[in-house]
Each structure stands twice: as C-alpha cells, then as structure tokens.
Homo-oligomer: A and B are copies of this chain.
Amino acid sequence: MTDLVRDFVEDNIADLHADLDAWLRIPSISTSPEHAGDVRRGAEWFAEALRRTGFPTVEVWETGAPVGAEGGAATGHPAVYAAWPSEDADAPRVTVYGHHDVQPVDPLELWETAPFEPTVRGEELFARGAIDDKGQLLFHLLGLRAHLAATGRTSPAVHLTILAEGEEEDGSEHFAQLLRDRAAELAADVVVVSDTGIFDRATPSMCVGMRGMTYCQIDLHGPDIDLHSGSFGGAVPNPATVLTRIVAGLHDADGHVTLPGFYDRVVDLTPRERDLLAALPFDEAAWVAGPAASRGTAGEAGFSTLERIWARPTAEVHGLHSGYTGPGQKTIIPTDAMAKVSFRLVADQDPGEVETAMRAYVAGAVPPGITASVTFFSGGVRPCLTPLDSPWLQAATRAMETAFGQQVLYTREGGSGPEADLAEILDAPVIFVGVGLPDDRIHAPNERVVLPMLTIGAIAAGHLWSELAAAAR
C-alpha cells in the first residue's frame, strides 16, 4: 500500500538531519547561567525553523516575572510558541509539547566526541539533546511537511499549536504559570507530548498515564523533655513508637494502603490493559539487579511489578527522625518524632481527598499525651490517564502503528512531570508520541539518537493530524 507520508519523509530526511546538526551545535544548557544566551539562541533558531516550515504565527515567549518595577529582563528562559490554524474551522485543536533546552554535559571527559559537535557513527548520531528533546521536536517539522504534501492541503488537518519549553531540564519553574497565562493561545482538545520514548526498539509503545502525588510530613510531640527510659519507660506514650505504628499501619499485610476510601476512585486496570502490560518484554530480574538496585520486589498483592509502579497507588516513607541517632546508647523517651510520607496516586484519585483521609488517620492514631501535626507541602499533583478506548489515543495509535509497521503496546509513568500540568491546566487528555529508546543515555555522557527512529517519528507525526482530525468527526 502506498504511503505518501513515508515516501515524503524518506525523500527529505536529509533536511531533518541538517536541521538537527545545526540546532545541536547550540549549547542550550538551561541549568547554567552562563549558557542563558545559548538557550535564547536555541529558541530563536527553533522559531526560525518553525517560520520556515510555514507556521503563520511564531513567537518567543518570555517566562518568569520581569526583575524590578520598571520591568527589566524576565527571570526565566524563553519558550517558543507556534500556531497554524486549520482551514477546517471545526477541526480539533492540538497542542504539541516539547522542550528546546538540554541537560548539562558533565562529566565531559566521558564523552567520546564533543557533546555539541554532532557526530554520526553508523545509524547513531551523538550529541547532547539529540533525542532529549531537539530530535523529537524536529521530527514534527518534517512530519508536518509530509502531512501537507501527502494530503495536498495548505494547512494542517487540525488547529496545530507547538509549545517548546526552555526550562524542562531546570525544574520547569515557570511552566505552570506560563500555561495559566497563555491558556487562551494553548487551548486544546488534545495534547501531544513528544519528550518520551518507547519500551524498547523491538517494542514500540505509547505512555497512557502518569501517577499523581501528595506529600506530607508528620510531626509528633510527646513529653516536653527527653525522659529517662529507666524511670519512665513503659508508662508514658513514646512518640517514636506511635510514629512507627502510624507509618507501619499505612499498609495491611497484603501491601494495600489502609486509608479509608483510598481506592474508592481508583480506575481499575481493565483485562485488556493488563494483557497489554503483560505483553511488554519486561526483564524483572535485570530490573531488580540494575535500575531498581533493590535485590528484591515487594508491594501490593495481586499485581505485577509494572502494574505496581505504573498503575497502582502507593504510600512510601522517605524519611524518619526521632531522638538519639548518634553512636552507642542513650536511654531516653524522645520528645519528638518525624516522618515524611507521600502517596502516589492514579486516576481518578483526588490529592485533596487523600490529604483529608491522611489527616483523619493520623488524628485517630494518636493516643492521649501525644500531639500531632501533619503538613502537606502543596495541594498535590493529579494523576492522569488516557483510557485505551479514547478516540484520540486510538487515532495516535494508528499513526504510530503505520510508522512502525507493527503493533504498538502501552506503558505508563510512575512519576509526575510537566505533563501533569499540561493535562490539568489545559484540561485536555495527553497523548505521548515519542521515539526515544531506553539506552539513548539521556542526561548522561554520549547521548545519542538512533536516526531511523527519527524517521519513524516523522512518519508517525505525518499521519497523526489526519488521524486525529478523522477521530474528531
């Protein structure tokens, strides 16, 4: 079957390679103040590439409040915004997210070739930012050209917006505020995130969910002074003992979280989702020995490791402190005890409800003579999940399967990123279209992109707008 998109991409892939070579030479390291000018230069380069691709509106947006009342320079790195409305007025609105800044390069001596001198060896291109995230933003430009060429259109089949952040590798400090300030320009029916990867090269996949989180500190206060455990031990409440009961009591014997109502809103994995997760060629033994560095697994009974880290909520303790922690023995009943505890949440759990349940649990677990305070450090982060039967997801899956020429599976993320802000602030489902590989060494020396993956990414992007437009009809 003829694939005009594929033909266009393959005929013009040299353009993408040339653009990538030029952009990767700009050392746009957002964490280094001395590279602030490079970050801006990289933004301007990408803005120019967007204009050259045909976007009628391209802007470089400042972020962060200006310094001083007179309005000096903005304190954040700039973002790049581009919009190309569809000639079809009722086409869906799509916002593509990526970032133009890159990670630092230390330790420099471990790079085989200079990080900002892109070098091709075989099918790999080595440079900082090659896959994270310049390569993934650029495949969209070639993909869009292929979309227009293959369909004969003069505008995209969707109202297309691109947002390239400049602080993703520096904590996204101003990102949420930017989204709120620019909500009108960024309004979308679906968000496409191109900053992630696939399960492995033989197993194309798309992420369909991320966990949320809420994080608190428990402080217990017992006797007003450290008491001698010989004189008082056994007869007064010990805040350290009470703390261990509170923390240990957060799980039952099967590893379920015990907070009342904790699972009430959890969207259970469907049999199909479980089957597809189980189809991923996950090597648990290698994971335990390597990435997890844990020498073992543990968790909620009845769920696999991938289900536990991606699709199930958790309670984890991150820190404990009480009393005497120096060498040897000191026989006190301590005055205070502290624990830091967070809950990872999955759709459709609500951080506020979990906070309320946790406060009630602690209050109910504290005996007379102990006072407790529970501090939540923020309102929490909402989980997000795209159901497998979402038309947007099915459309994007078709584009990806066409590009890869094989079935696409589904993954999730256990943590939370700026994607959570996108989903929550723009109030739109998030679809992940990325072609990174787990061994691309992002954030490490010798970051690379496997060039054929960018070709596939461009083909997927070239099909995506027609598929999404069709799904909206």
A18 within 8 A of B: no
Q: Which B residues touch A231, using CB under 8 A?
A: 291, 309, 414-415
Give min CB distance, A282 to chain B, whole Å: 11
- Chain A residues 442 to 465 lying within 8 A of chain B, measured CB to CB, are none
Contact with B along A220-241 (1 / 0, CB 8 A): 0011110111111111111011
Q: Which B residues touch A413, using CB under 8 A?
A: 230
- Chain A residues 74 to 124 lying within 8 A of chain B, measured CB to CB, are none
Q: Which B residues touch A414, using CB under 8 A?
A: 230-234
Contact with B along A413-446 (1 / 0, CB 8 A): 1111000000000000000000000000000000
A318 CA to B316 CA, complexed, in Å: 23
Contact with B along A321-355 (1 / 0, CB 8 A): 11111001111111001111010100000000000
Kindly report how many copies of this chain are found in the complex they form together: 2
Q: When the two chains form their complex, are residues B230 and A415 in contact, meaning their CB atoms are under 8 A apart? A: yes
- Partner-binding segment picked from A35-43, A131-139, A197-205, A294-302: A294-302
- Partner-binding segment picked from A172-180, A362-370, A403-411: A362-370
Q: When the two chains form their complex, are residues A294 and B230 in contact, meaning their CB atoms are under 8 A apart? A: no
Q: Which B residues touch A323, using CB under 8 A?
A: 317-320, 340
A128 within 8 A of B: no
Number of chain A interface residues as a range: 35 or more
Q: Which B residues touch A297, using CB under 8 A?
A: 235-237, 368-369
Q: Which B residues touch A368, using CB under 8 A?
A: 295-298
Q: Which B residues touch A299, using CB under 8 A?
A: 234-236
A251 within 8 A of B: yes
For A234, give its contact among B316, B330, B333 (CB under 8 Å): B316
A-B contact pairs, 17 of them (CB 8 A): A211-B230, A213-B230, A213-B331, A230-B413, A230-B414, A238-B298, A238-B316, A240-B317, A240-B320, A243-B320, A244-B248, A319-B325, A319-B330, A320-B320, A321-B322, A321-B325, A325-B340
Instruction: Give A contacts to B, CB under 8 Å.
Output: 211, 213, 215, 217, 222-225, 227-238, 240-241, 243-245, 247-249, 251, 288, 291-300, 305, 308-309, 312-314, 316-325, 328-334, 337-340, 342, 344, 367-370, 377, 413-416
- Excluding A229-B342, A232-B292, A319-B334, 6 further A-B contacts by CB distance (< 8 Å) are A231-B415, A235-B305, A235-B309, A241-B248, A318-B323, A318-B329
